[in-house]
Amino acid sequence: MKTAGLRGRGGAGFPTGLKWTFLPKDHQGPIYLAVNADESEPGTFNNRYLMELDPHQLIEGIILACRAIRCNTAYIYLRYEYGESFRILERAIQECRNAGILGDNILGSDFCIDIHLHRGAAAYICGEETGLIESLEGKRAWPRIKPPFPAIEGLFRKPTIVNNVETLCCVTQILYRGVDWFRSIGVQPDPNNPRDPGSLGPKLYCISGHVNKPCCVELPLGVTARELIDKHAGGVWKGRRAKAVVPGGISMGFLSADELDTPLDFAGPGSVGCLGLGTAAVVVVDDQTSMVDVLYNCCRFMSHESCGQCTPCREGTQWMTRILERIRDGRGRMEDLDLLLEVAGSMGIIPGTTICGLSDGAAWPVKNAINKFRGEFEEYIRQGRPSVTSAQQLMMAAH
């Protein structure tokens, strides 16, 4: 995995092989693998495709990863709303047990491995690996202070590796097709930057929002948002143009219409002020949609999903939502925009004020949207007209 250059597909893009080496070499007790199948980032649905259309690919990746990290027990932490995924995975796991591919002494070897399905409680915070571990243990999903990191002290206080569904499916294909095949796809490391591991391999891109054909496509890392929209999603709906594009889930921020040719690899979105590639969930916003309403929806979601453990996140997400509510009610002030930026700049791991990265994901679209679309926000405040929601529009049309 280290030679292939596989990076985690769950959002952070951390090198997978390197993560596996963090496990203690002389540990005699159990080591666990926790599979993150929670997929709570808005706009993301690629893991669901993998689990429902090719569950055995995931199971094989889990078995291979467990063999590599000396693990005998794996847990798939599955989003509760994914009922069909649960039923399909349950059948597939039982098929593997019946065939002797899971259980004791698989395929006549001395290797024993079993996989357990665990249905989560539908919380965004469970996408954070220590929050996921807390939930797996039957506790409230409050992220843990690190260190110790999960590779040293994770599930049941034992060494644990947490990997995303798509990451483990890549493990299967790397072992099947080879390292050279994987490295031939995507964006190669920068030879002038020894710290750049590149963006290698294929990626499942989700495309939704204001497009004619929402879809999930597998392409080499580094494809542009413009190509995804025009070539694969049938263009922006109703003959409109794109005003903004979320590159990988709302926590990553926004690309403006002038930035649609940015490569969607692990480095590209960061070069234009986004937090990163994230889950590669591309959400398109058309030119008839108010960015005030878009940002309000982002803040309302993050405020609802904050676990409340850290004061800057708990209070900051609520205050940003309230300020945007005031703007949408027609009572906004110009200084509200600077106030939003001040609140957003005071929360998150990056300024060192919170335990996990949810607050960074909550603050980034605020900073990003106001910096890139400030003129639209100012014009909205100057007009002072309350927003009309979709529900209100329907009611007015009915009368």
Res 23 pLDDT > 80: yes
Per-residue model confidence (pLDDT) at position 381: 95
CB 78 within 8 A of CB 189: no
CB 189 within 8 A of CB 15: no
CA 96/CA 180 separation, integer angstroms? 29
Res 342 pLDDT > 90: yes
CB 236 within 8 A of CB 28: no
Question: How high is the mean pLDDT of the chain?
Answer: 94
CATH architecture of 291-386: Up-down Bundle (1.20)
Per-residue model confidence (pLDDT) at position 29: 83
Query: Which is higher by pLDDT, 379 or 390?
Result: 379
Percent of the chain at pLDDT > 70 equals: 97
Res 391 pLDDT > 60: no
CATH class of 16-183: alpha beta
- Looking at residues 374-384, what average pLDDT do you find? 94
- Looking at residues 242-259, what average pLDDT do you find? 95
Per-residue model confidence (pLDDT) at position 204: 97
CA 203/CA 362 separation, integer angstroms? 25
Supply 142's token pair: 């409050």
- The structural domains of the chain, with segments of one domain joined by +, span 16-183, 200-286, 291-386
Kind and range of the H or E run holding 32: strand 32-37
**Cross-strand partners of 286:** 242
CB 131 within 8 A of CB 141: yes
Res 395 pLDDT > 70: no
Res 397 pLDDT > 60: no
CATH class of 200-286: alpha beta
> pTM of the full predicted structure?
0.92
Supply 354's token pair: 């919170």
Query: Which is higher by pLDDT, 339 or 350?
Result: 339
Q: Is the dihedral of CA 60, 65, 67, 72 positive or negative?
A: negative
Residue 350 pLDDT class (50, 70, 90 cuts): confident
Supply 19's token pair: 């993560």
Per-residue model confidence (pLDDT) at position 390: 53
Residue 11 pLDDT class (50, 70, 90 cuts): confident
Q: Give the three-state DSSP class for 116.
A: strand
Res 388 pLDDT > 80: no
Residues 179-219: pLDDT tens digits? 999 999 999 998 888 888 999 999 999 999 999 999 999 99
- Looking at residues 247-268, what average pLDDT do you find? 95
CA-nearest of 179, 182, 176 to 203 is 182
CA 365/CA 321 separation, integer angstroms? 12
Per-residue model confidence (pLDDT) at position 248: 93
Percent of the chain at pLDDT > 90 equals: 90
Supply 9's token pair: 């597909």
Res 158 pLDDT > 80: yes
CB 273 within 8 A of CB 253: yes
Residues 104-124: pLDDT tens digits? 999 889 999 999 999 998 799
